[in-house]
Amino acid sequence: EYKLVHPNDHVNMAQSTNDTIHVAIHIAAVGETCGRLFPAIENLQGSLELKAKEFDHIIKCGRTHLQDAVPIRLGQEFSGYAAMIANDRKRIEYALDGLKELVIGGTAVGTGLNAPKGYKTYVIRYINEKSGHDFRSAANMFEAMQSFDAVVFYAGALRSLITGLKKVADDIRLLGSGPLTGFNELQLPAVQPGSSIMPGKVNPVMAEMLNMICSHAMGNDACIIHAAQGGQLELNVMMPVIAYNLIQEIQILAGGMNALADNCIKGLKANEEICRQYAEKSTALATALNPIIGYHHAAKLAQQAFKENRTVRELAMEQKVADKAALDNALDLRRMTESPE
């Protein structure tokens, strides 16, 4: 009976779709970030940190430009991955604060027409009680009504996370390549039978899954940016597509991180002997001899080692470029991976 409760005269008296949908997007994004994304980040970061400790003693060949470089510990590589994810969380936390500004009470264009005095204060207090978050009224209702800059800024932080996740996935695929004609420094857990035609083949499907999610999420991001540019005068009518892509992006990233952590990272094993062999064979070990014999002589030694398929250590000992104690110290692989600071 509309005489008792009218949808426009009563229910919608102090609000408009122009402010309430905007507010709903912010509330949903904050809720999904805190409820899904942050726990997934913690899961992945924690898994990477555990592997960093487990692999800390394993010395391997570092690579720059995909070419052999000086030694690094496998644990150090994984500590870098964990730190990337941790830093991305900090960026997201910083950007999330902007989504806690709500334009509720702005009604149609930000002026608050038809909203009673105290309305937005009461509504935000109620939202905070129900959600457990600390939303607040927008500092400028007109900026908040017209603009989706807070969402774009937040999406930019997600983009940083996507970039880090793709790096981790790509590195795991590369380090696990082989097993006989690739790097084969990592053994990835077999989570499915493998190739449909080649028996016994184990594919890096979890890393590939995350790669696809990153591609999808970048598509979400592109749509958000494009739609956020669609605001004209007092309103951006692209709110539904922004909402759809923002929430989907958060959800698929959370699911992808959990899947990678639980079905790949936690089950990773290192091929320690192969890692050591590659480290010993790297001609870049000649770099450690620069302070002793100079760059030019060290370069010649590295070139000879490559040409004759021998190690820098062998040639340095054979040519007696320094006494054995000095060479043993300079070519100590563990020492090379430890910072002098």
Among 14, 26, 18, 16, which residue's Cα sits nearest to residue 123?
14
How far is C-alpha 43 from the chain's CA centre?
12
| Residue 195 annotated in active site | yes
Burial class of 284 by CB neighbour count within 10 A (0 to 12, 13 to 18, 19+): buried
Closest CA to 108 of 79, 142, 137, 134: 142
Cα distances from 204 to residues 171, 173, 253, 265, in angstroms, run 11, 6, 18, 11
Active-site residue, from 10, 131, 195, 215 = 195
| Choice among 65, 196, 296, 339 that is catalytic | 65
Residue 193: helix, strand or coil by DSSP? Answer: coil
Residue 111 in tokens: 């002026």
Cis amide leading into 179 (omega within 30) = yes
Structure tokens at 167: 């790096």
Helix axes 205-228, 239-263, angle to 10 degrees: 160
Check if 26 is active-site.
no
Q: Which residue has the tokens 């487990």?
A: 54
Do residues 157 and 250 touch, judged by C-beta distance below 8 A? no
Q: What is the CA radius of gyration of the chain?
A: 28
Q: At what angle do helices 74-96 and 149-175 cross, to 10 degrees?
A: 170
- Greatest alpha-carbon pair distance for the chain in Å reads 102
- β-strand partners of 67: 64
CB half-sphere exposure, 94, CA atoms < 13 A: 10
Q: How far apart are CA 42 and CA 106, in angstroms?
A: 37
Distances in Å between the alpha carbon of 177 and those of 7, 23, 201, 219?
62, 47, 11, 28
Write out the catalytic residue numbers.
Answer: 65, 195
